[in-house]
């Protein structure tokens, strides 16, 4: 596998993103069962649901957090980071497939393509999500003699907790139960901290851990990374809500105006459009402030905060 | 936690099963988030879907395989076996919740109670299954200083592969696509080896591995345990198909005659009732034969083969 972290420090941000996205695509392609393996429809549908699209924000955060600790990686084995990035995107993709199903958000469009249950059927979409989740844990539990198993187990445990009922799936449950209900800002934030924030936080912490297989990261650094992740996680959601109002479906690759039309509480409906933009900027500033102790080592994390803030899709 | 393996060698089989089932119930109760934790409906539904019922065959197999290697465990920490047994039952329970959903088997009755989507709703059932799967990997990745992380990672990897598209979920996909189609015995077996067999095989191998944290099990033993598991896995399914015809819904705790009514291929429709019974006996004999190298250490595995063969529910 090409080690793409080593040469990346010299690249501008856009080139780094493209390089990482292309690299991850290769890793995912290798980890996913071939489409001609039985059951072929399930494997085709799994590949359809994750390959060839997506911003890969969680994987980018994972790589960026790893680069805080691995500056010169030309001689470093980054397979642990690759497996972690891959697992994060598998969990994210499974959640999108299930969220789009008729009994959940009932969305026909995803990443500019039909959603999985539209392209295939509901039963296949259910099994695709289930299988992508299993594959995430299979990918991140791959062992190699050079790896520190204790560290790897901790990464895996962070991922499992972030995905479950006290994380992403729990946030989705709160989201579903909140349709049509007036939520205050604290309740809305609790929902998003679980639904989106938990996996984004996991991405940063697992990425950092993947680059430190032999040593522990000190507590102050974990706190700083967690603070960064919490703020960009919320910023990501606030920007999402703004794009739901201002965005263009053809650029977004999903149906704009969906949340507002579904009577879902959003930062825009709660705060108003301008105040939501101001809030996103505050969160962005907080995230950058959290990175100060890392100085230039956190370049990619800083750039990702900017990217999340200014994205149009 | 009470160490219940140590005293179990003196117990008769029924008492051992009851002890293990009760012990596992405690472990599950501890691992599952409390029903008063937010999101409360999701957590209540998760507990509803796994606590208070079920034969716990996979957990029993896991404990029985551990007892091949731990005969006198009065001073042994069996938390690794507990976590593995718990994870196996969490994966099994998630698969039942999803299988019962309207887009899959559409079954209203499970373990004598309403199935999860009937008691709650489809969206909750979807998230319950998703969350139980995450929780399985969270449970089995719990670390303690006394454990061998490398061995634990291998156990986890076996579980993830057994659950995914090349195991249980893949078998379910083949099952769904085979409704109304004539399958030959090889195709039917491929389906069941994935759908039921993969997790049963994982239960035996993970259970054995959980009791051998410091040393490797030799290849001949792994092959013998795999052969045992493959045969009882198929026997389990053949007996299931026989019970679908001969069983009583009130004892089964699920709808008898469901598979036949749904025009699903079964061993009974393929072979006829008497030949299916003969085949179950052959598989049972094969399973016992595989255990010969272990002599009396494999007592519980032998008894479980008998239990699977002669069960009425």
The DSSP secondary structure of B112-173, one letter per residue, reads TEE-HHHHS-HHHHHHHHHHHHHHHHHHHT---TTS-HHHHHHHHHHHHHHHSTTTHHHHHH
Kindly determine whether residue B153 and residue A152, on different chains, have CB atoms separated by under 8 Å.
yes
Whether residue A12 is contained in a domain is answered as: yes
Interhelix angle B299-310/B57-69, nearest 10 degrees: 160
Lowest mean pLDDT, pick from A33-47, A265-279, B69-83, B266-280: B69-83
* A309 neighbors A284 (Cβ within 8 angstroms): yes
Q: What residues in B contact A167, CB-CB < 8 Å?
A: 134
* Residue A159: closest C-alpha in chain B: B138
If DSSP codes are grouped into helix, strand and coil, which group holds residue A265? coil
Chain A partners within 8 Å of B134 (Cβ):
133, 160-161, 163-165, 167, 169
Q: How far apart are CA A205 and CA B138, in angstroms?
A: 16
Q: How far is B238 from chain A (nearest CA, A)?
A: 22
Interchain contact, B142 vs A163, CB within 8 Å: no
Stretch B293-303: mean pLDDT, rounded? 93
The whole-angstrom separation of Cα B68 and Cα B294 is 7
B77 pLDDT more than 60: yes
Residue-level pLDDT at A77:
67
Average pLDDT, chain B: 88
Question: Is residue B313's pLDDT more than 80?
Answer: no
Average pLDDT rounded to a whole number, residues B214-226? 83
What's the predicted TM-score (pTM) here? 0.92
Optimal mutation site among A121, A125, A164, interface B, most CBs of chain B within 10 A = A164
List of E strands, A244-290: none
Nearest Cα of chain B lies from the Cα of A90 at a distance, in angstroms, of 12
Of B41, B133, B173, the CB nearest to A127: B173
Chain A residues whose CB is inside 8 A of the B181 CB are none
Is the pLDDT assigned to residue B53 strictly greater than 90?
Answer: no
Give me the pLDDT at residue A3, please.
42
Asked, for residue A1, whether it belongs to a domain, the answer is: no
Q: What is residue A6's predicted lDDT score, i.e. its pLDDT?
A: 47
Cβ distance B177 to A129 less than 8 Å, yes or no, reads no
Q: What is the pLDDT of residue B213?
A: 58
Ranges in chain A, pLDDT < 50:
1-6, 73-75
DSSP A216: P
Q: Flag whether A163 is in a domain.
A: yes
- Asked whether residue A21 is assigned to any structural domain, the reply reads yes
A2 in a structural domain: no
Predicted confidence band of residue B76 (pLDDT cuts 50, 70, 90): low
Q: How far is A116 from chain B (nearest CA, A)?
A: 14
Q: Which phi and psi (to 5°) does residue B114 adopt?
A: -60, 145
* B1 in any annotated domain: no
Q: How confident is the model at residue B212 (pLDDT cuts 50, 70, 90)?
A: confident
pLDDT given for residue A292 in this prediction: 95
**CA distance to partner chain A, nearest, from residue B66 (Å):** 22
Number of domain units in chain B: 1
pLDDT beyond 60 at B49:
yes
Give the pLDDT band of residue B3 (cuts 50, 70, 90). very low
Report the C-alpha gap between B133 and A308 in whole angstroms. 30
User: In terms of DSSP bridges, do strands A113-114 and A109-110 run parallel, antiparallel, or are they unpaired?
Assistant: antiparallel
Judge: B38–A161 Cβ closer than 8 Å, yes or no: no
3 state DSSP class of A163? helix
Nearest-CA residue of chain B relative to A165?
B131
Give the mean model confidence (pLDDT) for residues B87-94.
98
Q: Examine residue A3 and state whether it is found in any structural domain, yes or no.
A: no
Does the pLDDT at position B262 exceed 80? no
**Inter-chain contact A42–B127, Cβ cutoff 8 Å?**
no
Instruction: Say if residues A54 and A91 touch (Cβ distance below 8 Å).
Output: no
DSSP state of B32: S
Any domain includes A211: yes
Q: From the CA of B232, how many Å to the nearest CA of chain A?
A: 23
Between strands B113-114 and B109-110, the pairing is: antiparallel
> Which CATH number belongs to the domain containing residue B278 in this structure?
1.10.600.10
> What three-state secondary structure class fits A147?
coil
The range of the structural domain enclosing residue A227 comes to 8-310
- What is the interface size between A and B, counted as CB pairs within 8 Å? 161
């Amino acid at each position: 596998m090409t080690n793409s972290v080593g040469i990346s420090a010299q690249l501008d941000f856009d080139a780094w993103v493209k390089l990482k996205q292309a690299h991850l695509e290769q890793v995912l392609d290798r980890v996913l069962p071939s489409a001609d393996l039985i059951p072929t429809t399930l494997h085709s549908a799994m590949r359809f649901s994750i390959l060839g699209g997506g911003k890969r924000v969680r994987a980018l955060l994972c790589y960026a957090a790893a680069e805080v600790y691995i500056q010169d990686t030309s001689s470093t084995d980054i397979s642990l980071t690759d497996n972690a990035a891959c697992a994060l995107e598998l969990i994210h993709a499974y959640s999108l497939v299930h969220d789009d199903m008729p009994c959940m958000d009932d969305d026909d469009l995803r990443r500019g393509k039909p959603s999985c249950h539209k392209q295939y059927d509901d039963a296949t979409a259910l099994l695709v999500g289930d299988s992508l989740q299993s594959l995430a844990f299979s990918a991140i539990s791959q062992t190699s003699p050079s790896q520190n198993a204790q560290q790897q187990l901790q990464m895996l445990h962070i991922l499992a907790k972030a995905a479950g009922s006290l994380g992403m799936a729990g946030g989705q449950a709160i989201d579903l139960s909140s349709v049509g209900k007036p939520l205050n800002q604290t309740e809305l934030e609790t929902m998003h901290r679980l639904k989106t924030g938990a996996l984004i936080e996991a991405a940063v912490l697992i990425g950092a851990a993947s680059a430190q297989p032999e040593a522990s990261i000190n507590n102050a650094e974990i706190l700083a990374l967690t603070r960064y992740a919490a703020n960009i996680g919320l910023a990501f959601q606030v920007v999402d809500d703004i794009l739901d109002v201002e965005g263009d479906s053809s650029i977004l690759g999903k149906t704009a105006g969906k949340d507002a039309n579904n009577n879902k509480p959003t930062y825009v409906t709660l705060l108003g459009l301008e105040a939501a933009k101001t809030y996103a900027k505050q969160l962005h500033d907080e995230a950058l402030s959290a990175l100060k102790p890392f100085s230039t080592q956190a370049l990619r994390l800083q750039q990702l905060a900017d990217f999340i803030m200014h994205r149009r899709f």
